[in-house]
A and B are shown apart, each in its own frame.
Chain A
Amino acid sequence: MAGRLEPEPIARRDFLGLAGWWTAALAVLGSLAGMVRLPNPRVLPETSRRFRIGRSRDYPVGSMQVVPDKNVLLVSRREGFAAISMVCTHLGCIVDRSETGFACPCHGSSFAKDGSVVAGPAPRGLRWLEVSRSIDGRLTVDSGREVPAGTWFRA
């Protein structure tokens, strides 16, 4: 009787045929897996996201300045410094400053002065970025690191 210990005999021809098919299928699958890996980059080619923005005295208390070429607004208050990203959280346009805070030209999201969403499709507020001081005493912003809104860096 055919059972687990004595399985139904399979003809040699069929066995070799099946083995051939499976080998071919595995080879194809294996190569496909290798090919699919290729376009998924392991390291994203990017310039450094940390940049220095100058000395703290360049940003007097009460000022709000856009850091040139960086799409970051540096806010200076008595509590400290904060850097608000001006990249819209909806689809990545650069927001403009408006009387009430920020407005996005692309799909009309608007944000309050602290970056929180007021209207429009943006799913969340503008990102607050980490501010720190480098060894030479200059202020540094890391646009790769987000901090909770309301975090002020005391110089």
Chain B
Amino acid sequence: MAGMKRFDQKRGLAAFLANLRRLPDTLSYSIFRHGRPRSERGRSQAVFSSLFLHLHPTRVHVRTLGLTATFGLGIAALSFFIILLVTGILLMVYYTPSTELAYNSMKDIHYVVPSGRLIRNVHRWGAHLMVIVVMLHMCRVFYTASYKAPREFNWLLGMALFVVTLALSFTGYLLPWDQLAYWAITIGANIASSPRELTDALGITQWFDPGGLQKELLLGAGEVGQDALTRFYLLHVMLLPIVLVMLASVHFWRIRKDGGLGRPQAEQTSGAVGQAPDLVPPPGGENDKTWSLMAVVRDRSAATDNEPGDTVATWPYLLRGELVVFMLCTLACLVLGVLYDAPLKEIANPNVPENPAKAPWYFLGLQEMVSYSAFMGGLVIPAVAMVGLALIPYLDREAEPAGVYMSGRAGRKIALQSLAFAVLLAVAWVAIPVNFGWLRNWFPGIPQIVIIFVNPGSLLTLGYAAWSLVILRNTGSTRLGAIALFTCFVAGFVVMTYVGMELRGPNWDFYWSRSHWPVH
């Protein structure tokens, strides 16, 4: 008995040592369920069985990888978001959301905390770049007609992502609690209360005051103060990021469910969405379990409806492309962050507005319109623009090969004409009030309600709508009408933003350049 026991002890020790030696392998197998992928099939399996990678199909169409297919803009938006999450969490270590401490904690981060300034700069630049990249991504999707059935809903998700992205930037803007922040948010909050302009003009504010309600919900008070800071902080670090992550997850998942990125018909093979394709013989051989699984997925997916010849493996080709985009985005943030500091003005002072007091740049187009009428420019026109953009995929249902910019020659021509028209009209509507004044200068006693509705901003919007309808009628194509409308929208946005950024000086007066601003 005793001998037996000894023998067992020896064996136990040997097993222990052997298991210890194999620990790296068993640990990795317990996590990944496969060894290091060496073959193409192994890599497909790796993509398929990882929670994070399986958002990708195991194989993608070669076209997806071409630079001009997407310019990597969607991935760039995601990359900036990841950079913002990481740097944002780091900033939270020191930032304190109180009106008394916020400004000083920003100063600490900027001047005292080790690498605080760089992290802050990267966070600020990442936010700007994310807004730009999301807008460009939206343009890419629009001009390649990638919003068309079956991708209408993903376009809507994209619109929601766009709004959340802007909301994140805007709520973040208040947090430093400096003059820039305080006055930008004061103006923003008062835009929220601008339905009062209308209810006042109608004399019903006492009974029905949606403007006041919106402002109080946003600020939790009558003015920008501690309650507003608490609410903006909550939105900025918790609620909006969570919403963005959820929306983005559905956005990515839908790309796969809608059959991968849209591409021209010629490059597409059989299989309608939602139909189970006939079982495709697995390209890797009969007993390849992963491929068979992919073949019964009830959707059009890159792996089931394409000749294997049109596709390449996600690992390494797609992942490599994504990594390159991510690294370029990080590099851009770092370079800008090293070269240019994020601004920090004097501490917020409710008695002295900045002159000129400007919103963040992506809202300067709106601010220009707000300088005609707060209600129309700040609420009605943006709402009309958003609803108009959201409806595009439902009103333009012409079957069209996705993935061709402007849908060909005719589209390019319409886009160019619309661009010229939209720029001219926008410039005219800025130039007329600058040179000749507006209704109130001509008819001093004019009722307010007329000023609210008849102003350069609303006339510009009407002009764009009319132009698109004319194109729609003349060409008989809803796609060309949509191109006209979207081009007008983009051009108007760019012109108005430029005017707000560069040509408006103190008292929102017109100046050809900053160097002409009066010194004060």
Residues of A bordering B, CB below 8 Å:
39-41, 44-46, 69, 71, 90-94, 96, 103-108, 117-121, 123-124
Contact = CB atoms under 8 A, between A and B. Distances in A.
B509 interface: yes
A105 B353 contact: yes
B168 interface: no
Contacts of A118: 440, 444
Given A92-B186, A93-B187, 18 more contacts: A39-B217, A41-B221, A41-B227, A45-B227, A91-B187, A91-B190, A91-B370, A91-B374, A94-B351, A94-B352, A96-B355, A103-B507, A108-B371, A108-B507, A108-B508, A118-B440, A119-B440, A124-B200
25 contacts: A39-B217, A40-B216, A44-B221, A45-B221, A45-B225, A45-B226, A45-B227, A46-B221, A91-B187, A92-B187, A93-B353, A94-B351, A105-B507, A106-B183, A106-B187, A106-B353, A106-B508, A107-B508, A108-B509, A117-B440, A121-B370, A121-B371, A121-B374, A123-B373, A124-B448
A39 B221 contact: no
Given A93-B186, A93-B187, A94-B353, A121 B509 contact: no
B220 interface: yes
A138 B231 CA distance: 39
Contact of A41 (B220, B441, B444, B507): B220
B356 A106 contact: yes
A119 to B, nearest CB: 6
Given A91-B187, A124-B200, A69 B351 contact: yes
B196 to A, nearest CB: 8
Contacts of B375: 123
A105 B441 contact: no
Interface in B230-251: 231
Interface of B: 183, 186-187, 189-191, 194, 197, 200-201, 213, 216-217, 220-223, 225-227, 231, 351-357, 367, 370-375, 437-438, 440-441, 444, 448, 451-452, 506-509
Contacts of A39: 217, 220, 231
Contacts of A45: 220-221, 225-227
B451 A123 contact: yes
B509 A44 contact: no
Q: Main secondary structure on chain A at its contact with chain B?
A: loop
Contact of A107 (B189, B221, B371, B440): B371
B200 A119 contact: no
A123 B371 contact: no
Contacts of B221: 41, 44-46
Nearest to B510: A108
B197 A105 contact: no
A119 B223 CA distance: 25
A85 B191 CA distance: 19
Contacts of A107: 367, 370-371, 508
Given A46-B221, A91-B191, A123 B452 contact: yes
The 8 closest A-B pairs by CB, nearest first: A105-B355, A107-B371, A108-B508, A91-B190, A93-B353, A123-B197, A92-B190, A107-B508
Contact of B506 (A91, A105, A121): A105
Given A107-B508, A108-B509, A121 B186 contact: no
A104 B507 contact: yes
B357 A93 contact: yes
Contacts of A93: 183, 186-187, 353, 357
A71 B221 CA distance: 19
Most buried by B among A41, A104, A105, A119: A105
Contacts of A41: 216, 220-221, 227
A46 B371 CA distance: 29
A79 B338 CA distance: 62
A90 B374 contact: yes
Nearest to B438: A119
Contact of A123 (B191, B231, B367, B448): B448
Nearest to B455: A121
B216 A44 contact: yes
Given A40-B213, A92-B186, A105-B357, A71 B373 contact: no
Contacts of A94: 351-353
A20 B428 CA distance: 62
A40 B216 CA distance: 7
Contacts of A120: 371, 440
Contacts of A105: 353-357, 506-508
A39 B355 CA distance: 33
